[in-house]
A and B are shown apart, each in its own frame.
Chain A
Amino acid sequence: MNVGLEHYLVVSAVLFALGLLGVVTRRNILVIYMSLELMLNAANLALVAFSRFNNNLDGQVMVFFIITVAAAEVAVGLALIVALYRRRQTTHVEDLNLLKH
């Protein structure tokens, strides 16, 4: 079986959809966070696949940037979650409804 661009993109789309599903349905903020990472990596996979099939390194460069930014984001995001937990004693999004009030 010959693996083509479409297969990579389908996998990427499935990963992205799973990530989105996690973000929308999960209640624990840490799990939501991991789902977000999953979506980022789905994007990375698509970029790498395009790069490989178009013989253009631009996409790979972009992936490096995304990984870097994602690492920084994880640091900031986890710090925020820890700070939030310390203050509110919870990581459930349903308890974090200050936006409404």
Chain B
Amino acid sequence: MHLQTLPWIILFLPLLAAVVITLFTQRDRKTSATLSISAIVIGFVLTVIFIKANSFNPEVKEVSLNWLDIGPLQAEFGLRLDALSLMMLLVVTGVGSAIHIYSWGYMHEDRCFSRFFASLSLFTFSMLGIVMANNFLQMFISWELVGVSSYLLIGFWYEKASAADAAKKAFIANRLGDFGFMLGILIVWAALGSLNFGKLEAGLADNPAALGSLATLGGLLVFCGAMGKSAQFPLHVWLPDAMEGPTPVSALIHAATMVAAGVYMLSRTFFIYTPEALQVIAWIGGCTALLAALVAVQQNDIKRILAYSTLSQLGYMVMAVGLAAPEAGMFHLTTHAFFKALLFLGAGSVIHAMHHEQDIWRMGGLCKKMPVTYWTFMVGTMALAGVWPLSGFFSKDAILAAAWHHSMPLFIIGVGVAALTTFYMFRLVFVAFLGGERSHEVGHAHESPWVMTWPLRILAVFSIVGGVIGVEALFGGMLHPGGEHPHGLAAQLVYPFKHAPVAALSGLAAFGIGLFAAWTLYARAKEDPLPARIGTLSRWMRDRFYFDELYEATVIKVHDATAAVVDWFDRWLIGFAAVRGSAGATSLFGNVLRFIQSGSLQAYAFLLVLGVAVILFFVLGR
């Protein structure tokens, strides 16, 4: 059994749903939601069936159609089906399904319910396009589609100025990265003459120097794309602002899928990066992880804390790729998708119950009011913090182990970030869920409906077991063949301690330190004690190290100045001088000539004779 048509159906179902909702069922909220949800749930079921039939390693790895054939450019439209894309397919459709269902409950009161689901389906289609693309061109198209649909989703509440701005910011930051991505693709195509991943990989394996002197540059330009999508420093500024979108969107786009696209693309194209390029990638990842974790410590908005936490974990994944361990990055991506989606949905549940209050200092004591949300949130927190044997521990350990083997400074950064992660997550839990009620809204809070809690429960289960269900071996087998990868439950549970005990123990120590610090500072805190203790540093953290202000003062100033010059050029030289100038000159000339036309026959006759006389004078008189 090959079931080659299934992947096509999986890919196009969400697009179909989006089109049908947009064109026909805008008014019927229930049908729209049902269509969108069933598209992705069916996609998930079909993915499971396909994997059951073919395992993670199908005999036929590619199905493709020839799409464009222009001279040397051969653009295919094809799907690549291997362990990497199939696992990612499971994650996207699986986590996506949970989030789609949850959205039904969360968005129920919204006026534009149908539009929301249409955008969600369009996004799912684009994301699946990235995952299954078998060549750079197709991936780039889907990549841009993801950009567009994320713009639609972040700006879903476009009547709020902040949401509209955030959507623009996300789109523009992504476009900046995508420009580099496109240049990178062009370099690769110019040097190797193909866009197909399989052919490129084979070509580079035959002749590693095929990319020549442009190898590092090309790799880094392709990485630019990932930098935009995965919000790596210095293009990270859009992700926290993107929290203006509805919470399910934050969960879907900014936890499980869109931002993961960058890491996925890095793993997919891992073969083109030179050691120098990897060095840069690793350090950018490390810096992002550290910066974002520091910022997360002093945020008070529940979604912003999670947003910076996402940034920090993405930094981890990119660092893993840079440390030549893409399998560890993908492993962390998978587990992170589970527990970060869980955390975002949990946060959404809290926000829903608190009537859109997002400040953690106005919550407190929610554990009694919302037990399901509390316990699932706790599971997500522990998984993110890396508690053995929850999923986050194993994936984070894989990254730390890679750092331990390759680069000591990055290992120290990694452990430090792990401690910070535990600290800020438990700060959030202690302040928001434990302790006394800090505002009267808490008194009215109640548990969310079952459409919202069941996705939480399911994601919680995966957050617990995600580390030991063979994900690591799966990615390892494909991306890092020849390495040893644990099989079987018991072997996986103890693997980190045998493989790289220092990394595993440092990870646990980081958790201990973070938890202890959070407990002493926040367990009984009435207000944040940190600003008083570390003063200026806390202010810098709270104000996100002034990156937005820095960009405001430099990039945006330069941009505005350029825009002003261009505007002047357009307004005065093109608009005024060229367009209105020529029109004005014609009209002025006409106005002058009008005086000659008097309507008097005799004047015409006289002029006629005068003309004849002048001609005669010139012809005969000289």
Residues of A within 8 A of B (CB): 20, 23-25, 32, 93-94, 96-101
Contact yes or no, A25 B609, CB < 8 A = no
Q: What residues on A are CB-neighbors of B597 within 8 Å?
A: 99-100
With a CB–CB cut-off of 8 A, which chain A residues contact B606? 23-24
Residue B599 at the A interface, CB < 8 A?
yes
Starting from the known contacts A20-B609, A93-B602, 11 additional A-B residue pairs (CB-CB under 8 Å) come to A23-B605, A24-B605, A25-B602, A93-B600, A93-B601, A94-B600, A99-B599, A99-B604, A100-B597, A100-B598, A100-B599
Q: Are A32 and B599 in contact (CB under 8 A)?
A: no
Residue of B nearest to A101 (CB): B599
> In the complex, how many angstroms separate the beta carbon of B262 from the nearest chain A beta carbon?
72
Inter-subunit contact A97/B602 (CB<8 Å): no
Report Cα–Cα, A41/B544, bound state, in Å: 102
- Shortest CB-to-CB span from A63 to chain B, Å, is 21
Which residues of B line the A interface, CB within 8 A? 597-602, 604-606, 609
Closest to B598 in A: A100
Interface pairs (15), CB distance under 8 Å:
A23-B602, A23-B606, A24-B606, A24-B609, A25-B602, A32-B602, A93-B602, A96-B601, A97-B598, A97-B599, A98-B599, A99-B597, A99-B604, A100-B598, A101-B599
Residue of chain A at shortest CB distance from B609: A20
Closest chain A residue, CB of each to CB of B604: A99
Sort A-B residue pairs by CB-CB distance and give the 3 closest, nearest first: A100-B599, A97-B599, A99-B599
Query: What CA separation (Å) do A75 and B597 show in the bound complex?
Result: 30
* Distance in angstroms between the alpha carbons of A32 and B601 in the assembled complex: 11
Q: Which residues of B contact A99 (CB under 8 A)?
A: 597, 599, 601, 604
Please give, as numbers and ranges, the residues of chain A lying within 8 Å of B609 by CB-CB distance. Answer: 20, 24
B interface majority secondary structure: helix
A24 and B598 within 8 A (CB): no
Please measure, in the bound complex, the distance between the C-alpha atom of A97 and the C-alpha atom of B602, giving whole angstroms. 11
Chain A facing B: main interface SS: helix
Which residue of A has the minimal Cβ distance to B605? A23
Chain B residues within 8 Å of A98, by CB: 599
Report the bound CA distance from A93 to B604 in whole Å.
Answer: 12
A20 vs B606: C-alpha distance in the bound complex, in angstroms?
Answer: 8
Least Cβ–Cβ distance between B248 and chain A, in angstroms: 71
Bound state CA distance, A78 and B606, in angstroms?
Answer: 22
CB distance from A98 to the nearest CB of B (A): 7
**B600 CB contact (under 8 Å) in A20, A23, A97, A101:** A97
Q: What is the CB-to-nearest-CB distance from B603 to chain A, in angstroms, rounded to a whole number? A: 8
* A93 to B605 Cα, complex, angstroms: 12
Contacts of B602 in A (CB 8 A): 23-25, 32, 93
Q: Which single residue of chain A is at the shortest CB-CB distance from B607?
A: A24
User: What is the distance, in angstroms, from A25's C-beta to the closest C-beta of chain B?
Assistant: 7
Considering only CB atoms, which chain A residue lies closest to B599 in the complex? A100
The smallest C-beta distance from A62 to any residue of chain B, in angstroms, reads 19
Bound Cα distance A98, B604 (Å) = 13
Q: How far is the CA of A101 from the CA of B594 in the complex (A)?
A: 11
Min CB distance, A13 to chain B, in Å?
12
A94 CB to closest chain B CB, in angstroms? 7
* Chain B, residue nearest A25 (CB): B602
CB distance from A29 to the nearest CB of B (A): 8
Nearest residue, chain B, Cβ from A39: B609
> Which of A20, A24, A96, A97 has the most B CB atoms < 10 Å from its CB?
A24
Q: How far is the CB of B604 from chain A (nearest CB, A)?
A: 8
Cα of A63 to Cα of B597 in the assembled complex, Å: 35
Nearest neighbor of B603 in chain A, beta-carbon distance: A24
A32: chain B residues at CB < 8 Å are 602
The answer for the CA separation of A100 and B596 in the assembled complex, in Å, is 10
- Chain A residues with CB under 8 Å of B598's CB are 97, 100
A100 to B600, CA, bound (A): 8
Write the chain B residue with the least CB distance to A32: B602
Minimum distance in angstroms from A50 CB to a CB of chain B: 15
Kindly provide the distance from the CB of B596 to the nearest chain A CB, expressed in whole angstroms: 11
* B-side contacts of A94, CB under 8 Å: 600
Expressed in whole angstroms, the minimum distance between the Cβ of A49 and any Cβ of chain B is: 18
User: Closest CB of chain A to B110's CB: distance in Å?
Assistant: 64
B395 CB, nearest partner CB in chain A, Å: 88
Residues of chain B within 8 A of A24, CB atoms compared: 602, 605-606, 609
Q: Which residues of B contact A101 (CB under 8 A)?
A: 599
- CB-CB < 8 A to A20: which residues of B? 609
Among B597, B598, B600, max chain A CB count under 10 A is at B600
Return the chain B residue nearest A29 by Cβ.
B601
Instruction: State how many angstroms separate the Cβ of A12 from the closest Cβ of chain B.
Output: 15
A100-B609 Cα distance, complex, nearest whole Å: 20
In the complex the two chains form, what is the Cα distance from A25 to B601 in whole Å? 11
CA distance A100 to B598 in the complex (A): 6
* Complex: A64 Cα to B601 Cα, angstroms: 29
Chain B residue at minimum C-beta to C-beta distance from A99: B599
Contacts of A96 in B (CB 8 A): 601
Least distance between B413 CB and chain A CB atoms (Å): 87
Docked complex Cα distance between A100 and B595 (Å): 10
A30–B263 alpha-carbon span in the complex (Å): 98
Chain A positions within 8 Å of B605 at CB level: 23-24
Q: Chain A contacts of B601 at CB under 8 A?
A: 93, 96, 99
Using Cβ atoms and an 8 Å threshold, which residues of chain B touch A93?
Answer: 600-602
Q: How far does the Cβ of A76 sit from chain B's closest Cβ, in whole Å?
A: 17
What is the distance, in angstroms, from A37's C-beta to the closest C-beta of chain B? 14
A101→B600 CA distance, assembly (Å):
11
Closest Cβ of chain B to A19, distance in Å, is 10
Determine the distance from Cα of A91 to Cα of B288 in the docked complex, in whole angstroms.
96
Residues of A within 8 A of B604 (CB): 99
**A36 (CB) vs chain B CBs: closest residue:** B605
Chain B nearest CB from A22 CB (Å) reads 10
Q: A27: nearest residue on chain B (CB-CB)? A: B602
- Nearest-neighbour CB distance to chain A for B612, whole angstroms, equals 10
Q: How far is the CB of A9 from chain B (nearest CB, A)?
A: 14
Complex CA–CA separation, A25 to B602 (angstroms):
7
CA distance A3 to B574 in the complex (A): 72
Task: Give complex CA distance A23, B601 in Å.
Answer: 9
Alpha-carbon separation in the docked complex, A12 to B115 (Å): 93
CA distance A25 to B603 in the complex (A): 9
Query: Within the assembled complex, what's the spacing in Å between the Cα atoms of A26 and B569?
Result: 58
| CA gap between A100 and B601 in the complex, in Å | 10
A23 to B599, CA, bound (A): 15
A100 cross-chain contacts in B, Cβ below 8 A? 597-599
CB distance from B607 to the nearest CB of A (A): 10
